[in-house]
Structures are given as C-alpha cells and as structure tokens.
Amino acid sequence: MWSIYLNVVIQGVLTGLVYGLMALGLSVIFGVVRVVNFAHGEFAVVAMYATYVLFTAFRLDPLWALVPVAALFFMVGYALQAALINPFVGRPEHEQFILLVGVGIVIVNVLLIGFGPDARPVNLSYGFDSYEIGPLIVDKPRVFAATAAIAVAAALFWFFRRTRTGAAIRACADNLVGAGVVGLNVKRLYALTFGLGLACVGAAGTLLVTIADPTPSLGPSYTLMAFIIVIIGGLGSMAGALLGGVLIGVSEALAGFLFVPSMKSMFSFTLLIAVLVLRPQGLMGRRI
C-alpha cells in the first residue's frame, strides 16, 4: 500500500520541479523588477505551443526544443521590458497588474484564434516508458523533465551567484538607488532580468508538454499556480520557488489521488489563503 503513496509522491515531486521552474521565473522578475507578471502562465502556454510546433514540424524532442525556446523567450522578455514595462516600474501596483492582465488576455486569445480551443498533445515515442525500481514505477518523460528543470534552475543560481552581471542584478534588487549611484544601467538590467525570467518560463513551458497537453485556457490557471507557488515559497526567494513547486506538485498529486481530481486545485487555493494569512513572507522569506 505504501508503495502506491510513494509513487504518487514521487510523481508529484517530479511534476512540482517543473512547476517550480516556471515559478522561479516569476520570482526572479518580482524580486528584481518589482513588477507582478500577471501574464506568466500565458507565456508558459506559448512555450508549450512553440514546443508543439517544433515537434510536429521537425520532430524536435521537447528536451532539445528547450534551448531555442528559452533563447527566444529571453529576447521577447528583454524587448517587452524595454519597450512596454519599463515605464511602469514604480507606478501603482494595479496599473502594472492591469497592463500584464491585458498582455495575458491578448496571448490567450491569439492562441485561441490560431490553434482553436482543443488540446494539442505532443506524443513522444518514449511517452509511456517508465523506470521500475523495485515497487516504484517512474515515468521516463517526467524524470527527464524534472532533471532538465533542475539543470536550468542550477544554471540560473550560478548566474546570479557567480557572474558580475548577476551580482549587478542582485544589487538592483537590494538597493535600487545605490545601484544607480554606482553607475549600473538599471533599465538595461531590468530588461535582462525580465528576459531571464521569461527564459525560465519558456524552458518550463517546453517541459510542461510532458505533464499536460497545451490548450489556451491553461494560461490563467498556470499564472495562478505560479503565484501560489511563489507566495508559498516566498516572493524573491529562488530556492523557495522550487520548494513551493514541489509542495504544490505533491499536494495536488495526493489530493488528486485521494479525492476527486478536479477538486485538487482547491487545496492549492486553501494553502495560498493559509500562507497569506499566517506567513505572508512565504516559507523562505525574501532573498535573491
């Protein structure tokens, strides 16, 4: 009996790592630029469709699609921040919110017009393969996806900890005025950060096709999920985002297993309300 639970938990951890990578992008953007990216999940869904297109057109495996999609998303993010969002830095929160809600609405509905409301599955040749370790059966695509998610997150950690640009971005997050005084180009660093955040979402989106089939309506629910994860983990904390992702992944897997699957997100929302009320800074404080 326990092996079933263990299987469900492992499934949840693997899924949660991918969710965590998506939320990591949101956390980086909020932690530095202080803009709430309310189109976050919509960007993830765009990446899912991009993966679908690359897969059907060139038979490109999602794990390989990750590289070009993340690169493309980096550029999109950079351009978006430079052109559209930079003027909103420091403006009231609701204005930023509404701007990005607008961006999200446009994305969802352009996808709806382009691809229609039906799901577009990416049928991998190894989609149903699994590893058997004793009583445990672990899906192969999810192991790959989780490994890739950890790799991307590790690269991001390295960038922020070990490079000069990473340090400069952290300086902007810690003390904006000070960063300006020592001569950092804040606007450019913000654009860079938004690009990195979107690259994270792009990477997560390519991996998400192993978990769910892309449909436009996934966008808003992924946005909410990313916010839930980031708030549970602590806005601005990179490790917190991954931890929050795993927590949400496991709790949804268990809830889906023990109760009605369609009710599983009720647990996430309850968790969100509880964290907001009891520990608003999240489980891992704020640190980037």
Nearer to another protein (CB atom), residue 57 or residue 277: 277
Contacts of 192 (CB under 8 A, 6+ apart): 78, 165, 169
DSSP state of 137: E
- Nearest distance, CB of residue 29 and another protein, angstroms: 13
E strand residue ranges, 9-160: 130-133, 136-139
Nearer to another protein (CB atom), residue 214 or residue 220: 220
Amino acid at 149: A
Q: Which two tokens stand for residue 151?
A: 């790799």
- Nearest distance, CB of residue 26 and another protein, angstroms: 12
Catalog residues that contact another protein under the rule CB under 8 A: 36, 84, 87-88, 91, 93-95, 97-99, 101-106, 108-113, 117, 216, 220, 224, 227-228, 231, 260, 262-263, 265-266, 269-270, 272-273, 276-277, 280
- Nearest distance, CB of residue 5 and another protein, angstroms: 24
Q: Which two tokens stand for residue 109?
A: 């509905």
> What backbone phi and psi angles, to 5 degrees, belong to 164?
-65, -40
Nearer to another protein (CB atom), residue 19 or residue 160: 19
Nearer to another protein (CB atom), residue 91 or residue 161: 91
Amino acid at 152: V
- Nearest distance, CB of residue 140 and another protein, angstroms: 32
- Nearest distance, CB of residue 62 and another protein, angstroms: 26
DSSP state of 181: H
4, with CB counted inside 10 A (0-12, 13-18, 19+), is exposed
